Amino acid sequence: MEKALAEIWNAEDQTHAEAAVEAFGAAYGAKYGKAVAKVTDDADELPAFYDLPAEHWIRLRTTNPIESTFATVRHRTKVTKGPGPRAAGPAMAFKLIESAQARWRAVNAPHLVALVRAGARFERAVLIERDEADAA
């Protein structure tokens, strides 16, 4: 089952992801009905990152960005047996995350971030140019 889910998640484009969802439903629907329903019911939303630049996919496919960010804080607070005084906790977390961000991997194609934020449309990872009729 894990391999079939990975095929959905690692599909090269939305068409392959949709085919992998169908194959997953056919293979495991009878035995794991509720679990398969969770995947197949939201199949149109699962591969939403395909509508963004391909350079960003690797960052969007991460399984737990929150856990990765706060792992540094968690490891340090366990060693020190807690953050200490109430005001020291947020300050310590901020400084730990600030120092850890120097080791984080940068976003691929940062020039495309501005386009995404501005609402540019991407289909199959390719920027769709607006027509003059759409701009009016």
Task: Tell me: do 7 and 72 sit in the same domain.
Answer: no
pLDDT tens digit at each of 136 positions of the chain: 788 888 887 787 788 888 988 899 899 988 888 888 888 887 777 777 777 787 777 777 666 666 777 777 777 766 666 667 777 778 888 888 888 777 776 677 777 778 878 887 777 667 777 654 455 4
Task: Tell me: do 83 and 128 sit in the same domain.
Answer: yes
pLDDT of residue 75: 73
Task: Tell me: do 128 and 79 sit in the same domain.
Answer: yes
SS3 102: helix
Q: Which amino acid is at 79?
A: V
Domain range for 35 is 2-48
pTM: 0.52
Cβ–Cβ < 8 Å for 9, 61: yes
pLDDT of residue 133: 47
Task: Tell me: do 62 and 86 sit in the same domain.
Answer: yes
Q: How many domains would you assign to the chain?
A: 2
> What's the helix, strand, coil split of the chain in %, to 5?
60, 5, 35
